[in-house]
Amino acid sequence: MADLTNEQIEGILSSIVDKYTGQDIVSSNAINSINIDGDKVEITIELNYPAKGYHDELSKQVTDALSAADVDNVAVSIETKIVKYTTQKGVDILPEVKNIIAVASGKGGVGKSTTAVNLALALQAEGAKVAILDADIYGPSQPKMLGVSKLKPDSTGEGKLLPILGHGMQSMSIGYLVDEENPMIWRGPMVTQALEQMLRDTLWRGVDYMVIDLPPGTGDTQLTLSQKIPVSGSVIVTTPQDIALIDAKKGLKMFEKVNIPILGIVENMSLHICSSCGHEEAIFGVGGGETMAKDAGVNFLGALPLEMNIRTDVDEGTPTVAKDPDGRVADIYKEIARKVSAKLTEQSRATSSFPSITIE
């Protein structure tokens, strides 16, 4: 094609749809720059969500589309720029944390904490700076899951706690501050105060996404989260089992009532494959999470198998995404991470600018 113009290139690229946002890369302003030098075309794409695992596929789509139009000398680079999105009104922001994603479940035992830590590590693997806050005061599990349960956080001269690094990710939990075997025999107000202090008195640094691992249910901690913590969106974890789905729906309705966007539903323990014979069995039922998502009009983010390694990995302090980053299960978590962060881009961007003031 002779005498290429930017408009011609954009016309060709407008046919390429980002499979995670559902928008074409031109109208969504993902094209950062187009440089034409003779017959050579250099294109820079800027995504607002971490998706390293998608870069090669998207780059190939661009080169294939241009090649079909006889543009063969093409160089594509893909960058990531994560911005802050809106949260509940009237809640103080965290200066060093752009977005907070709450991971919740209606009941215990559905693998919420395992999902939370693997989701956080998957966001990190896809190119984001991530932190995880363990909000389960009565049953903190993230220190053990991250393999750092023996560590204690240092403090600064100003009384701020320094987050513990686990697999390169910032973390904070009440489990770092008390002995592992000591029960937290606290009433609700003490729990909510502890959650606020861990969030605001920790010296977080440059966090794109903070994943908060909530306790099960819809109690004090969840209410504090909705009223005092700037949450960008929530993820609901369930199993296909009817009892789990009933409680998961309560959690979903709670977030709707407090105006926190629901980014999607994860179905955990969806299918068991016998390690000896390969027989597949849906122990907890089939398709419950996907049906729930469809009925509620929210994204179904993915299904995780009932697999022993997922459990043993977190027990050993090396969650699956960290232990086997190229494995099948890690790929599922990374796909969920891309869907969650891409869904967040549909919200309005937060602004830190002050309103103009006119004095007459």
Q: What is the mean pLDDT of residues 278-289?
A: 77
Instruction: Identify the residue whose tokens are 């999105």.
Output: 85
What residue type is assigned to position 39 of the chain? D
Q: What is the mean pLDDT of residues 66-79?
A: 92
Confidence at 356, pLDDT banded by 50, 70, 90? very low
Looking at the domain 6-80, which fold is it?
GMP Synthetase; Chain A, domain 3 (3.30.300)
Of 111, 90, 140, 42, which Cα lies nearest the Cα of 319? 111
Residue 242 or 343, more confident: 343
Q: What is the mean pLDDT of residues 233-249?
A: 87
Q: What is the mean pLDDT of residues 109-126?
A: 96
* pLDDT of 4: 78
Q: pLDDT tens digit string along 252-272?
A: 888 888 888 999 999 998 888
DSSP-derived secondary structure letter, 249: H
Confidence at 352, pLDDT banded by 50, 70, 90? low
DSSP-derived secondary structure letter, 146: T
State the Cα–Cα distance between residues 154 and 148, nearest whole angstrom: 14
pLDDT surpasses 90 at 276: no
Q: What is the mean pLDDT of residues 275-288?
A: 77
pLDDT surpasses 50 at 354: no
Q: What is the mean pLDDT of residues 171-197?
A: 85
Domain regions of the chain by residue span: 6-80, 97-344
Burial 99-109 (b: 16+ CB within 10 A, else e): bbbbbbbbbee
Residue 65 · residue 16 · CB < 8 Å: yes
* pLDDT of 99: 96
Residue 232 or 106, more confident: 232
For the entire predicted model, the pTM comes to: 0.92
Confidence at 109, pLDDT banded by 50, 70, 90? confident
Q: What is the mean pLDDT of residues 56-63?
A: 96
Confidence at 353, pLDDT banded by 50, 70, 90? very low
pLDDT surpasses 90 at 180: no
* pLDDT of 2: 55
Of 180, 145, 181, which Cα lies nearest the Cα of 166? 145
* pLDDT of 359: 43
Residue 283 or 233, more confident: 233
Half-sphere exposure of 308 (CA within 13 A, CB side): 4
β-pairing, 40-47 vs 31-37, is: antiparallel
| Mean of per-residue pLDDT scores for the chain | 89
Determine which of 28-37, 175-184, 326-335 has the lowest per-residue pLDDT on average. 175-184
* pLDDT of 315: 95
Q: What is the mean pLDDT of residues 77-94?
A: 90
Residue 322 or 2, more confident: 322
Query: Class of the 97-344 domain?
Result: alpha beta
State the Cα–Cα distance between residues 95 and 312, nearest whole angstrom: 36
State the Cα–Cα distance between residues 342 and 17, nearest whole angstrom: 13
**In a 3-state reduction of DSSP, which class is residue 107?**
coil
Q: What is the mean pLDDT of residues 158-178?
A: 94
Q: What is the mean pLDDT of residues 143-155?
A: 94
Q: Note whether 6-80 and 97-344 share their fold.
A: no
